[in-house]
């Protein structure tokens, strides 16, 4: 099948590369010529395990191309995916300006029947919004259909999530239109749910808001665990064995970040408000999440006292492991908090250091985790990269000026930290001294 994907961010690039790997002829479109040039050379513009190899293979086999020429791409394709950014506005409303621009471009180039697919995360009603834009801007009056096909990718495992999804949701105006997407996804042999367009749009937001709710719930439980002497890791494990609850997204920590959960939860709140439904539950979810970093920073300040002149080692900058994404990363919030109080922050991350330095020039970068700890008054763990879980803790202790660790992701055993002589401040697990 001939496919065009508009947008080469996380969703667009992974979608385009995987569809090409399934044997389709795919053209990925981006208005940024420098990105197009890099991708055409086989250089990924994001860090994602497995992406570079798949990108090179499909470029070499001639199934994948990159261009800034939207008109040509649209005219060569049968199915056109819109996978552009949908950032939040200040009030939480989703900014659909990039979706609008893509729809206008499709309309101007459309020369025959096309299936236009909203892959971007968009609020309910965007299918009609895109249909209206295309209808108004068509130069030639040809038939088309608009489908919703939300993505459920996790950064760091996006390739695998695309190849082996829990479900494929197709929101289409008719069964006949849905068959086009069914054919495209058929090689994956995974469950497909066909719905109306509005339900598909809602499934995406409801899913992410529910997962965000699980995270905020366990973090609220963690706060109480710290007061009563319980261990939130054991509490979450006991909860997770219940099949009705499940263990996923019950890890207490610094809260949710990244490109999806924060903005999608805010967008659903905005949509509810728009239709006179006051979603008090989701507002509490956001409020609890917003309190995570300030609470963590207060614990650091309570232990170390005035932070002016203190040196803090920080491990992990990306918002989660196996990605270089810094959107809504807790590391940035923590770093700014520490710098504002006069501390020096020397940090390490396997892949996200350059991006963090561009956002916070005062940040001091180190070659490895041990250098980040060297001469520091405390070590702060923000991202649970596997390599940090496997550090030589005795060596780490010898490098710190005092054996104080603030673990925002609960990656170490409190008992082992006690045996090694650390002061260990974890989330929802009390304090080990």
Mean pLDDT over the full length of the chain: 96
Q: What is the pLDDT of residues 231-247, one digit of tens each?
A: 999 999 999 999 999 99
Out of 290, 306, 332, a domain closes at 290
3-state SS, one letter per residue, for the chain: CEEEEECCCHHHHHHHHHHHHCCCEEEEECCCHHHHHHHHCCCCCCCCCCHHHHHHHHHHCCCEEEECCHHHHHHHCCEEEECCCCCECCCCCECCHHHHHHHHHHHHHCCCCEEEEECCCCCCCHHHHHHHHHHHHCCCCCCEEEEECCCCCCCCCHHHHHHCCCCEEEECCCHHHHHHHHHHHHHHCCCEEEECHHHHHHHHHHHHHHHHHHHHHHHHHHHHHHHHCCCHHHHHHHHHCCCCCCCCCCCCCCCCCCCCHHHHHHHHHHHHHHCCCCCHHHHHHHHHHHCHHHHHHHHHHHHHCCCCCCEEEEECCCCCCCCCCCCCCHHHHHHHHHHHCCCEEEEECCCCHHHHHHHCCCCEECCCHHHHHCCCCEEEECCCCHHHHCCCHHHHHHHCCCCEEEECCCCCCHHHHHHCCCEEECCCCCEEC
Range of the domain at 241: 204-290
Whether residues 280 and 404 share a domain: the answer is no
Catalytic residue among 28, 225, 260, 337: 260
Give residue 237's pLDDT: 97
Give residue 432's pLDDT: 75
Q: What is the pLDDT of residues 181-219, one digit of tens each?
A: 999 999 999 999 999 999 999 999 999 999 999 999 999
Residue 261 CB partners (closer than 8 Å, separation 6+): 208, 211, 212, 215
Whether residues 73 and 183 share a domain: the answer is yes
pLDDT band at 259 (very low <50, low <70, confident <90, very high): confident
| Number of domains into which the chain is organized | 3
Whether residues 275 and 297 share a domain: the answer is no
Has 260 been annotated as catalytic? yes
Give residue 433's pLDDT: 74
Out of 141, 166, 195, a domain closes at 195
Whether residues 275 and 345 share a domain: the answer is no
Give residue 238's pLDDT: 98
Directed axis angle between helix 126-137 and helix 197-228, to 10°?
A: 140
Whether residues 68 and 36 share a domain: the answer is yes
Structure tokens at 402: 């005092």
Whether residues 175 and 244 share a domain: the answer is no
Q: What is the pLDDT of residues 25-65, one digit of tens each?
A: 999 999 999 999 999 999 999 999 999 999 999 999 999 99
Whether residues 15 and 39 share a domain: the answer is yes
Contact 28, 65 (CB under 8 A): yes
Give residue 430's pLDDT: 76
Work out the average pLDDT over 152-179.
Answer: 94
Q: What is the pLDDT of residues 87-103, one digit of tens each?
A: 999 888 999 999 999 99
Directed axis angle between helix 197-228 and helix 261-274, to 10°?
A: 120
Residue 307 burial (CB < 10 Å; 0-12/13-18/19+)? buried
pLDDT band at 155 (very low <50, low <70, confident <90, very high): confident
Q: What is the pLDDT of residues 393-422, one digit of tens each?
A: 999 999 999 999 999 999 999 999 999 999
Whether residues 269 and 137 share a domain: the answer is no
């Amino acid at each position: 099948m001939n496919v065009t994907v508009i947008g080469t961010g996380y969703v667009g690039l992974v979608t385009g590369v995987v569809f090409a790997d399934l044997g389709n002829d795919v053209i990925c479109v981006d208005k940024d010529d420098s990105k197009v040039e890099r991708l055409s050379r086989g250089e990924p513009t994001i860090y994602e395990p497995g992406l570079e190899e798949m990108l090179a293979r499909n470029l070499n086999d001639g199934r994948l191309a990159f261009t800034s020429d939207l008109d040509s791409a649209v005219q060569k394709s049968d199915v056109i995916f819109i996978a552009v950014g949908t950032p939040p506005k200040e009030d939480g409303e989703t900014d659909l300006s990039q979706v609008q621009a893509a729809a206008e471009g499709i309309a101007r180039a459309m020369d025959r029947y096309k299936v236009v697919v909203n892959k971007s995360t968009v609020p309910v009603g965007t299918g009609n919004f895109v249909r209206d834009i295309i209808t108004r801007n068509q130069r030639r009056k040809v038939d088309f259909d608009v489908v919703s096909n939300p993505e459920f990718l996790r950064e760091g495992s996006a390739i695998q999530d695309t190849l082996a999804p829990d479900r494929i949701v197709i929101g289409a105006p008719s069964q006949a239109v849905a068959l086009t997407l069914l054919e495209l996804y058929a090689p994956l042999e995974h469950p497909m749910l066909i719905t109306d367009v509005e339900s598909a749009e809602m499934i995406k937001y409801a899913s992410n808001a529910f997962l965000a709710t699980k995270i905020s719930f366990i973090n609220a439980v963690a706060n109480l665990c710290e007061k009563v002497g319980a261990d939130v890791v054991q509490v979450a494990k006991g909860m997770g064995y219940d099949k009705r609850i499940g263990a996923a997204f019950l890890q207490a920590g610094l809260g949710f970040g990244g490109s999806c959960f924060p903005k999608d939860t805010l967008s659903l709140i905005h949509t509810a408000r728009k239709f006179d439904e006051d979603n008090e539950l989701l507002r509490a979810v956001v409020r609890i999440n917003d309190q995570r970093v300030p609470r963590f920073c207060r614990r650091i300040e309570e232990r170390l006292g005035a932070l002016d002149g203190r040196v803090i080692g920080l491990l992990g900058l990306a918002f989660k492991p196996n990605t270089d994404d810094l959107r809504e990363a807790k590391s940035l919030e923590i770093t700014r908090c520490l710098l504002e109080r006069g501390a020096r922050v020397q940090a390490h991350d396997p892949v996200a250091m350059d991006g963090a330095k561009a956002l916070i020039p005062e940040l001091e970068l180190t070659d490895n985790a041990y250098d980040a700890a060297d001469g520091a008054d405390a070590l702060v763990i923000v991202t649970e990269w596997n390599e940090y879980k496997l550090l030589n803790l005795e060596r780490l202790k010898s490098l710190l000026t005092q054996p104080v660790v603030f673990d925002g992701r609960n990656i170490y055993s409190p008992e082992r930290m006690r045996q090694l002589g650390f002061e260990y401040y974890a989330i929802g697990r009390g304090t080990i001294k």
